[in-house]
Amino acid sequence: MTRQPLLRAENLVRDFRTGPRTIFRAVKGVSFDVARRETLGIVGESGSGKSTTARMAAKLIEPTEGLLEFDGVDVTYKAGKALRDFRGGVQVVFQDPYSSLNPRHTVEQVISAPLLYQGRKVLGGRRRVVKESMERVGLNPDHSGRYPAQFSGGQAQRIGIARALVVEPQLVICDEAVSALDVSVQAQVLDLLRDLQRDLNLSYIFIAHDLAVVRQIAHKVAVMKSGEIVEQGSREAIFDAPRHEYTQSLLAAVPQVDPSWEAARQAG
Amino acid sequence: MAVPSSAQLEEVDGQAPGGGSKPPGASALKTILRKPSVIFSLAFLLIVTGMAVFAPWVTQLSGWGPLQFDESAVDSSTGGLPLGPWGGISADHWFGVEPQNGRDIFARIVYGARVSMLIAICATALTMLIGVTLGMLAGFAGGWVDAVISRLMDFLMAFPALIFMIAVLSAVPQGNRPLLLVLVLSLFSWPQTARVVRGQAMSITNREFVEAARASGAGRMTLVFKEVLPNLSGTVIVMATLAVPTFIATEAGLSFLGVGVIPPTPSWGQMIAQAVPWYASHPLFFAVPGIFLFLTVFSFTILGDNLQKVWASGGRS
């Protein structure tokens, strides 16, 4: 069996037109791959092009140049039927749990939307599938008639996760999926994502600016700066022995308890 | 890390902090239904609508049709003024009679309501249909589609609409006047609706849930009708409620000017026009349709304003 990656991105480039004659290159040729059951974390400060990269990987925007392969198939410029197949394999969880859920739709409508939009017939009916996926992400299935505004941020993000999982994708792209949540809720959602990965054999691309979050969930990490991946490797390699100076400065910027303070506290 | 994996920790009574608000709709109506001004407006509009819908039965009850002459109710020696005080108000003629021919004013108000409301509601429906469709198209598609629709809107809004309406309506043959009025009124009103809808559609299109729907596999039409349109319902209801009175007033104005509904079909504007020469000797002939026109427009406006207030403040979105 060949170890073919689930998703492979090669030299992705994305330009944005900012004026009649000026073009801004947000992503300057990034390459990465995601293996099955593996989590790739992409970290970087805001404006580093990590969200643009995620949106290209999710085929929400087209790359200006480059190649995107999903399950061995070139999907870079696919549309129509091929794109629908891709949408069945790759789903997205967005940053803001409230603004990514239609305020006029009930939870049931939100979660079953991908089934409806992809024209899928499901055994036992949509309602049953919705209840099952609500249970799977830790929501009370009796609340399926409520509206997103009636849930807390963490619960709303669980709705977003349930929506992503309802078509049984292989890859879930989490674009700052826990950044808007409180730290305690963050930990719960990360835990849920890890459990789901184990139970459903999922792969993740996990975009975050918070190194601590990436460290908890990623197997591999790519560090982005000004549209380029400056360093990528296993989690241990990046966190324990960063080679690029930008990675080093990022890690140094994480607030840490100085051992001498701890000693002083113990003594006092 | 030892964190409970279920949602128990954050599930505080199953209710989000401050998030008990349902999307506006049922709760919005409940809020404004407590205000006396809204209750009176609704009651008046119900009466007028009821009169309009059941006009033949109402006039059967009152005894006189809108086109029936009653020469016994007018005094030919005074040039046709109604007999009796207050313009001939009696058990026979509840709002008095018209001078000279003695037609029953109540019956003409009832049938006039029918014409005015029908034209206003049809024009509103058509305006909303065109305005929402083109506004959503412009806001969602952007690019040259937006440019073309926006220029068309600018053109129509800058156009001297009233002059054009008078000119067109007096030039065309006397066919189906109400239909023509609906078409002309809608032609010049849809840009106001479309402009608001366009702005809203633009901001909604940029919200994350539209992108989420795209990631879920939604096509363009699905995005527009399933994701964007439900978020416009409040705006559309408010705009429709506020459009009805403008159409009633404009229709009355055009009929007053003699280019609206053609006699003998009664309409409120036309009745006011006929009453003008008699304002001194028979003020009620003038006042009755005037009061009905005023109250109808006023009630619709109060209703629309209140709906707008509720929608502007209610419902976190």
Give the minimum alpha-carbon distance from B73 to chain A in angstroms, rounded to a whole number: 60
Mean of the per-residue pLDDT values for chain B? 78
**Chain A residue closest to B227 (CA)?**
A102
Buried b / exposed e along A246-263 (16+ C-beta atoms within 10 A)? bbeebbeeeeeeeeeeee
CB B22 within 8 A of CB B290: no
Which A-chain residues 46-105 have CB contacts (< 8 A) with chain B? 58, 60, 84, 87-88, 91-92, 94-96, 99-105
CB count within 10 Å of CB A24 equals: 11
Contacts of A146 (CB under 8 A, 6+ apart): A106, A107
pLDDT at position B21 over 60: no
pLDDT band at A246 (very low <50, low <70, confident <90, very high): confident
Q: Comparing C-alpha atoms, which of B210, B226, B216, B219 is closest to residue A80?
A: B219
Check residues A141 and A262 and name the one with the higher pLDDT: A141
Best CATH choice for the domain B34-313 from the list 3.65.10.10, 3.40.50.720, 1.10.3720.10, 3.40.109.10: 1.10.3720.10
Tell me which residue in B6, B16, B219 faces A138 most closely, judged by beta carbons.
Answer: B6
Q: Are residues B15 and A88, on separate chains, in Cβ contact within 8 Å?
A: no
Those residues with Cβ within 8 angstroms of residue B61's Cβ, 6 or more apart along the chain or in another chain: none
Cβ-proximal residues to A84 (8 Å cutoff; 6+ apart), any chain: A118, B217
Select the highest-mean-pLDDT range: A37-41, A259-263, B176-180, B265-269: A37-41
Q: Which letter does DSSP use for residue B231 in this model?
A: G
pLDDT tens string B194-215 = 999 999 888 888 888 988 888 8
Per-residue pLDDT tens digits for A162-196: 999 888 899 999 998 888 888 888 888 898 999 99
Closest chain A CA to residue B4:
A188
Per-residue pLDDT band for B86 (boundaries 50, 70, 90) equals low
Q: Which helix (H) or strand (E) holds A161?
A: helix A153-165
User: Which among A92, A102, A142 is the top mutation candidate for probing chain B, defined by the most B β-carbons within 10 Å of its own β-carbon?
Assistant: A102
Write the DSSP string, B258-284.
TSSSPTTS--HHHHHHHHGGGTTT-HH
Interface check for A212 against chain B (CB to CB < 8 A): the answer is no
pLDDT at B16: 41
* Every domain of chain B and the residues it spans: 34-313
Q: Which residues does B287 contact at the CB level (< 8 Å), separation at least 6?
A: none
Looking at CA atoms only, how far is residue B213 from chain A in angstroms? 8
Q: Are B3 and A188 within 8 A, CB to CB?
A: yes
Residue of chain B whose Cα is closest to the Cα of A161:
B212
B216–A102 CB contact, under 8 Å: no
**What does the alpha-carbon distance between residue B215 and residue B154 come to, in Å, rounded to a whole number?**
35
Partner residue facing A151 (CB), from B5, B16, B233: B16
pLDDT score recorded for residue B1 = 39
Residue of B nearest to A58 (CA): B215
Cα–Cα dist A153/A159, whole Å: 10
* A 101-130 near B (Cβ less than 8 A): 101-105, 113-114, 117-118
Instruction: Give the domains, in start order, of chain A with CATH numbers.
Output: 7-267 (3.40.50.300)
Give yes or no for A233 touching B (CB within 8 A).
Answer: no
pLDDT for A204 beyond 90: yes
Give pLDDT, residue B289.
83
What was the pLDDT predicted at A93?
Answer: 92
- The distance of Cα A230 from the centroid of its chain, to the nearest Å, equals 20
- CB pair distance less than 8 Å for A155 and B211: no
Mean pLDDT confidence for B249-272: 81
pTM: 0.74
Local confidence band at B243 (pLDDT 50, 70, 90 cut-offs): confident
DSSP state at residue B167: H
| A154 part of contact set with chain B, CB < 8 Å | yes
More confident residue, B78 or A83: A83
